[in-house]
Chains A and B, each alone.
Chain A
Amino acid sequence: MALLELREIRKSFKMGGGDLEVLHGVSLLIEKGEFVAMMGPSGSGKSTTMNILGCLDVPTSGDYLLEGKDVATLDNDELATIRNRMIGFVFQGFNLLPRTSALANVEMPMLYSGVGARERRRRAREALDRMGLGDRMNHDPSRLSGGQQQRVAIARGIVNRAPILMADEPTGNLDTKTSDEIMKLFQDLNVNEGITIVLVTHEADVAAYARRILRFRDGIIIDDEINARVRGADAV
């Protein structure tokens, strides 16, 4: 049983008068422990696919099986629980709460899973330490660099021990050097923690860190290949 399975997923959005279909039947299997990059130009459907995989959005038709369970049968609260326990998110714009310390930001997912204050604090510190931010815990996002903010976001994504991490253009707002640091962190989490990573990017350099690359164009997957030359693999 695959960890994530999409079968003939279609998704349309209401646009002006009619419906605009952006996914025209996407099917894919992602196994536990994979590091998958979804590539393609803007509007190709890669982000929409990731939002569906992340239970942030629902398909118009088709089936999505998460650990073999049909997601369409779940209600909003159950979807929230899946986002809370199974999936961590990292966004291009970081999406941290403003005027809220790095520590409090990282603690937030545990707030919604009922983890006690002391345990929350401990695990948030641990995750931030893991991201090399041990000395920035009480800083507000506004006082952190882009790379640091993204590492806070990654810490938030892994703190609740979610087995899947989804990243939508995580390096889009970062310079090349910082991008490489962030990508190495993903690689490290994938190899050493066994976290399944689904990454959306339009940069080949970034996608090169993944072991499998899916190429999207016009709402379908046009190519699905194993990355023979994984970048930085020797370093991990």
Chain B
Amino acid sequence: MISTVEIVKVSGRALLANKMRSFLTTLGIIIGVGAVIAAYAVGQGANSVIDKQISMLGSNFMYVFPDRSSVSSFSNPRYLTVSDAEAIERECSGVVAVAPLAETTAQAIYGSANWSAEVSGSTPGFSVVREWLVESGRDLMDGDIRSGSKVCVLGYTVADKLFGEEEPVGKVIRIRTVPFTVVGVFASKGRSMGGYDQDDFILVPITTAQRRLTRNANTGRVGAIMVKGVSMKALNYLEIQINDLLRERHRIRPDRPNDFSVMNISQILDVRRKATQTMSLLLGAIAAISLIVGGIGIMNIMLVSVTERTREIGIRMAVGAKSGDIRLQFLIEALSLSLLGGVLGILLGTAAGIGLSAIMNSPPVFGVGSIVLAFVFSALVGVGFGFYPAWKASLLNPIDALKYE
């Protein structure tokens, strides 16, 4: 019996004798494997970006906005208030924290430095919902809200622009003309996916903001209410509770539409994550089809090769090659083609993954799993589609093969 090493050499020589054909035959596998690797890299990369986004925004949270389009002159004034926020916190289950939000843009001044920043009026719940950490000083406290004290916590960018190297905590800045004492600075979160600087804001007590900055003190009107639930699952039920609660509080008749809307950010991101998963799956399916087509290409060429080399098979059989030897030779040729395609495909897919991720502005993620899977799959394609031609070759009758013209 011939040794496998010798058969590999024989097969290798046959493939090298037709370099161009061998390469073109492997192209289907190269593209298939490349697509698997690239799809995985880009898909995982996008997912990791979404995960990061979720962690930056804060997880399991939703926004409740007043819905201005549906405000009807027949109903009571419809906007969200601080008491709506308090009601949600008090009456809904599955709530971790609630933060009403009154935002405005204002000029902040310290000494000769001034900076236009987003001023967010909220409660201690703000940093819980959005998952902000205090780097120095302290966060807002319930007392600040009750007394409407003129204190603020700075986002990292604002602290940097106004104070530079100087320690901000304890200093007094002016927002518009109102003096606020800086009690703390938040740790930096950096830029969001859209390039928006998340650290460019000042947090002040909502009561102070309404009285001094937005002039909505009488109505207690807020721009939005942020709600953090205990889990992603809890959000759906929470949304229903908020819906019922606010309809009741706003006395909306059953036939009237909501005067507010609930935006479940986590859900949106989750949908996006599912979309990338679907896209990955789709690309994977295309890759699988490409691998099968590539396999058929290999089978086709191997069948041609067996026919072309019928006389060679006859000669080998005449000098003592067994059917198994012939079968193994052609099987190894097919396997070599598909594995070569697999290796080139992995290289191509890695390059494509890096390129596509650069365009999509998300880092590619390469898993050992996807590479091993691609390699194993291409080997299976080689064996699967190489078997029939090899089997056909081994069935040849020596004398018929020798006489073949």
Interface residues of A (CB under 8 A from B): 51, 54, 56-57, 76-77, 80-81, 83-85, 89, 91, 95-97, 99-100, 108-109, 111-114, 117, 156, 160
Contacts and interface: CB of A to CB of B under 8 A. Distances in A.
Interface in B9-46: 10, 13, 17
Nearest to B314: A95
Given A56-B399, A111-B2, A81 B318 contact: no
B217 interface: no
Given A56-B399, A112-B325, A114-B1, A80 B320 contact: yes
B3 A114 contact: yes
A168 to B, nearest CB: 10
B320 A112 contact: yes
Given A57-B397, A95-B315, A111-B6, 6 more contacts: A80-B321, A81-B322, A84-B319, A96-B315, A111-B2, A112-B325
A51 B321 contact: no
A108 B323 contact: no
A100 B397 CA distance: 23
Nearest to B395: A76
26 contacts: A51-B399, A54-B318, A56-B318, A56-B398, A57-B398, A76-B322, A80-B317, A80-B322, A81-B320, A83-B319, A85-B320, A95-B314, A95-B402, A96-B315, A108-B315, A108-B316, A109-B319, A112-B1, A112-B319, A112-B320, A112-B321, A112-B322, A112-B325, A117-B6, A156-B319, A160-B319
Nearest to A91: B402
Contacts of B402: 56, 91, 95
Contacts of A160: 319-320
A83 B318 contact: yes
A89 B312 contact: no
B15 to A, nearest CB: 12
Interface residues of B, number: 25
Contacts of A77: 322-324
B189 interface: no
B392 interface: no
B312 A84 contact: no
Contacts of A114: 1-3
Contacts of A108: 315-316, 319
Contacts of B3: 114
B311 interface: yes
A97 B312 contact: yes
A199 B322 CA distance: 25
Contacts of B317: 80, 83
A117 B322 CA distance: 19
Contact of A113 (B311, B320, B323): B320
Contact of A84 (B6, B315, B320): B320
A83 B17 contact: no
A97 B315 contact: yes
B318 A89 contact: yes
Contacts of B13: 100
Contacts of A112: 1-2, 316, 319-322, 325
Nearest to B16: A99
